[in-house]
Structure 1
């Protein structure tokens, strides 16, 4: 009896390392919409392992210029609300988003990776309320850190071999979150 060999397929990281530059940049832009960040990570390929890629991504994120940060924030969307959100919470969150955007001129970015969906709404509301007290320079640093965390989570899902699962979650959660919040209920958008 002859056993069939299991075909060896390249890992997601190997595919990223060997992809044409344009494809790698396009993939990275789904993690953090900064051309400078994506091109820098692409130009330093190949990465021997995921921790090396994540370290390079962190370093590149810390080096984002104010224009790069503005570009990345402009592409983010608000975290969607859980399906069972009460109308009052929906109204409170919509008002908090509007106050944040009016104060800082960009969408509220927050990483919800690892956050249970039933805790996410309170975490987002508390985050917005506390960050509204920040001065614009302080808030830019916090927003940058949240974007770095979002990019890390997205990159881990893509390069860590879970891109199919991540694509499903990303389509459900949207690019503004790192967490597993369900899609918005019918009604007005949260902005």
Structure 2
């Protein structure tokens, strides 16, 4: 059996001093508990080990931890200036009509009023219409169900961001 070489970014991540590694993780996910769990499990032999650790940490997050993580995400259609990750992930909104953008703003506000946090979806690869349809479908969920959907979506976002972290060149 041949072993897969460790991606250069993963080696670099494993070798980072603790504060720098924490910062890199916190940029991927604003949950301090999630970042600390991943940090404590270093070094990772493979990217899959890192992703599995991320999934396990996501499953253990408390409601407060999830709220902290969600606070790190801007509303769909309004990526934070200077935040290339959210701009890249929300690329599907870039070509949306003014009407669709206004509808998303209204839906985002209604969702936030109902649940107390931004609408969170793994937007990578989704069109503006798909994101709109998702918020429409989810706004009627009971809060407990929506919290679990948010946990799943956040896990997907974290995996994408971790993949970018471990696969990028120096």
2:61 counterpart of 1:50 = no
Which of the two has greater helix per residue? Answer: 2
**Equivalent position of 2:151 in the other structure:** 144
SS in 2 for 1:30: helix
Q: Scaled by the length of structure 2, what TM-score is found?
A: 0.83
Contact 2:31 2:66 in 1 (8 A): yes
Q: Which has the larger radius of gyration?
A: 1
Aligned length: 150
Q: Which residue of 1 aligns with 2:97?
A: 86
Deviation of the 1:37 alpha carbon: 0.7
Instruction: Using the TM superposition, give the Cα deviation of residue 120 of structure 1 relative to its aligned residue in structure 2, in angstroms.
Output: 1.3
1:121 alignment counterpart? 128
Q: 2:35 aligns with which of 35, 38, 47?
A: 38
Structure 1 residue 22, shift from structure 2 partner: 0.9
Pairwise CA distance, 1:11 = 1.1
2:72 counterpart of 1:65? no
Unaligned runs of 5+ in 1: 1-9, 165-191
Aligned-residue CA RMSD (Å): 1.6
CA distance in 2, matches of 1:74, 1:112: 16
2:99 and 2:34 map into 1 onto residues whose CA distance is: 39
Q: Does 1:104 align with 2:101?
A: no
Structure 1 length normalisation: TM-score? 0.74
For the residues of structure 2 that align with 1:108 and 1:96, how far apart are their CA atoms? 9
Runs (5+) with no aligned partner, structure 2: 1-6, 78-91
- Separation in 2 of the partners of 1:36 and 1:85? 36
